């Protein structure tokens, strides 16, 4: 008979990450900040990585157990080293540029792929030896509905997120014998600075006024006509680190208000 991993009424237990170290990238703002706060509230020591020193300082003041690490993830060697010793890795940092392909600057395409795909690869690479050694690890990749669907004018972002889905699944297959799970979370549009910043670009690319962008472009395919909150995404990340999710790996946990139900 195959061995069983018993879980004592997991839903009745509050998440306890005491003794765990979680590295969260892009932790200075938006979803990353919410994840860092959620994991710290569950007792984890959080290594908060971002290039935004001021944002990290504010975060560290807001919660105990948060250790800020100012780092630009385009420094791939530094990213890989920073991940060593992590029990939980949340690959979250991301950037966006909205432009038609023929006007998309190649250097920006390269940077988006570096920050959102190559850095996660290097962080996973840096984190796995310790996770394998102890027989437990959680990798959570903050993907997007754009890891599963494309939208016009987002070539680099969509390419990076589809790549991240592949990296996540591969890590799931390799990590399974070592007690390491790897999953994606896939939000629709979240109320964060990244979304606020693209309203003007979206208006220009689609040739409509800014006040029509939310309803007509961003939420067009969402059955639920609201932005999802960073805390809701952080809760999904926390779930993936919980005992209740120990059989979940290689998955994409979608919070898209019904977008991909089309
Ligand atoms: N906001 C949304 O609607 C939405 C939807 C789906 C997925 N996502 C994904 O969620 C993640 C977080 O997005 P957000 O909306 O919170 O964005 P955000 O802009 O609020 O936060 C992103 C963080 O990443 C950091 N960052 C960017 N480039 C970096 C680099 N080179 N080195 C270190 N840090 C860097 C920024 O400083 C910032 O603090 C991204 O991967 C994004 O693609 C966002």
User: Is 189 known to be catalytic?
Assistant: no
The rounded Cα 178 to chain-centroid distance in angstroms is 22
Per-residue pLDDT, 58: 98
What is the C-alpha separation between 21 and 40, in angstroms, rounded?
Answer: 9
The confidence score (pLDDT) of residue 200 equals 87
pLDDT for 9: 56
Q: How far is the CA of 188 from the centre of ligand 1 (A)?
A: 13
- Residue ranges of the chain with per-residue pLDDT less than 70: 1-3, 5-12
| Contact indicator for 78, 98 with CB cutoff of 8 Å | no
Angle between helices 155-175 and 119-134 (to 10 degrees): 20
Contact residues of ligand 1, CB 6 A cut-off: 26, 28-32, 50-52, 55, 72-74, 92-95, 115, 142, 144, 187, 189-190, 192-195
Per-residue pLDDT reduced to its tens digit, 109-129: 999 999 999 999 999 999 999
Strand order of the β-sheet with 180-187 is: 66-70, 45-50, 21-25, 88-91, 137-142, 180-187, 252-255
Residue 29 CA, closest ligand 1 atom number: 39
Query: In the prediction, which pLDDT does 194 show?
Result: 81
From ligand 1's centre to the CA of 8, what distance in Å? 36
Nearest alpha carbon, ligand 1 atom 5? 189
Q: How high is the pLDDT of residue 13?
A: 80
Give distance in angstroms: CA of 30 to centre of ligand 1.
7
Q: Do 113 and 154 touch, CB atoms closer than 8 A?
A: no
Is the pTM above the cut of 0.85?
yes
**pLDDT at residue 198, as a whole number:** 85
CA of 26 to the centre of ligand 1 (A): 6
Distance CA 206, CA 61 (A): 41
* Three state DSSP letters for the chain: CCCCCCCCCHHHCCCCCCCCEEEEECCCCHHHHHHHHHHHHCCCEEEEEECCHHHHHHHHHHCCCEEEEECCCCCHHHHHHHCCCCCEEEECCCCCCCCCHHHCCHHHHHHHHHHHHHHHHHHHHHHHHHHHHHCCEEEEEECCHHHCCCCCCCHHHHHHHHHHHHHHHHHHHHHHHHCEEEEEEEECCECCHHHHHHHHHHHHHHCCCHHHHHHHHHCCCCCCCCCECHHHHHHHHHHHCCHHHCCCCCCEEEECCCHHHC
Atom of ligand 1 nearest to the CA of 114: 31
Measured CA to CA, the distance from residue 163 to residue 168 in angstroms comes to 9
């Amino acid at each position: 008979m195959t061995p069983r991993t018993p879980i004592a009424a997991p839903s009745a237990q509050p998440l306890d990450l005491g003794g765990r170290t979680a590295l969260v990238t892009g932790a200075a703002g938006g979803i990353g900040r919410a994840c860092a706060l959620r994991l710290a509230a569950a007792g984890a020591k959080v290594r908060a990585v971002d290039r935004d020193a001021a944002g990290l300082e504010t975060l560290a003041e807001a919660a105990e157990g948060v250790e800020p690490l100012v780092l630009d993830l385009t420094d791939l060697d530094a990213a890989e080293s920073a991940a060593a010793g992590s029990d939980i890795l949340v690959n979250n940092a991301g950037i966006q540029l909205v432009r038609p392909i023929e006007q998309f600057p190649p250097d920006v395409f390269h940077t988006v792929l570096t920050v959102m795909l190559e850095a996660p690869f290097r962080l996973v690479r840096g984190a796995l030896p310790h996770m394998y050694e102890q027989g437990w690890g959680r990798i959570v990749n903050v993907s997007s509905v754009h890891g599963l669907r494309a939208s016009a004018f987002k070539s680099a972002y969509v390419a990076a997120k589809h790549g991240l889905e592949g990296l996540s699944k591969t890590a799931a297959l390799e990590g399974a014998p070592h007690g390491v799970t790897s999953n994606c979370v896939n939000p629709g549009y979240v109320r964060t600075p990244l979304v606020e910043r693209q309203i003007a670009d979206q208006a220009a690319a689609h040739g409509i006024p800014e006040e029509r962008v939310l309803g007509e472009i961003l939420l067009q395919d969402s059955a639920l006509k609201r932005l999802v909150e960073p805390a809701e995404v952080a809760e999904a990340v926390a779930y993936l680190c919980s005992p209740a999710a120990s059989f979940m790996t290689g998955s994409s946990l979608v919070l898209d208000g019904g977008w991909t139900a089309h």
